[in-house]
Amino acid sequence: MEYLLRNGKKVTIRKPKTEDAKAIINVMTIADTETLFLARDPGEFCTSVEQEKQIIENVLADNGVEWFVAEYENKVIGQCSVGLIKRNARYRHRAEVAFVILKDYCNLGIGGKMMEECIKWCKKAGVVQIELDVVKNNEKALKMYRDFGFEIIGTRENALCYQNGTYADEYLMVKKL
């Protein structure tokens, strides 16, 4: 789906193709160096192009998950995923989302467009509760999630441990559809 952004340019939010494998690896590798809000330290994302192609094929074949890339000016600059938390009947009403956008492309509205696509998938899949974890001091992400109706329902203290020995708390946020 193509969307108009705040800067007047367009972004395409689409399913990844195996040809995107190298670009997705690049996004993850760069993003890990740009922020402390992700789950990995720089260098911990160690997926080969062939492995990433297989991951793309597997996800595209799985009806319990959806994956989107953000393409801006013919370049993959972000990705998001949404999927059922568990496949058991008692859990199929819940899904979890996760986002990555390169720093140079933040604040254009791309994350919101990806969230719109995730919510569409959830509604189509019969999901009634969307969940996510967000680092407590990630103000921009918190604002976006709140704008979409997510509410903080708990705090996971010391959820992340950084290389310098400091810790970060995470909020668990939920949106009811």
Domains of the chain by range and CATH?
Answer: 2-176 (3.40.630.30)
For residue 112, the 8-state DSSP code is H
pLDDT over 90, % of the chain: 95
pLDDT for the residue 43: 85
Nearest to 22 by CA among 51, 57, 42, 58: 51
Average pLDDT over residues 168-174: 98
| pLDDT tens digits, one per residue of 7-42 | 999 999 999 999 999 999 999 999 999 999 998 888
Measured between alpha carbons, how far is 78 from 72 in angstroms, rounded to an integer?
9
Count of all residues that appear for the chain in the document: 177
Whether the predicted pLDDT of 45 surpasses 90: no
Supply the pLDDT for residue 80: 97
Mean pLDDT on 108-132: 97
Q: How high is the pLDDT of residue 156?
A: 98
- pLDDT of res. 171: 98
- Would the pLDDT of 128 be above 90? yes
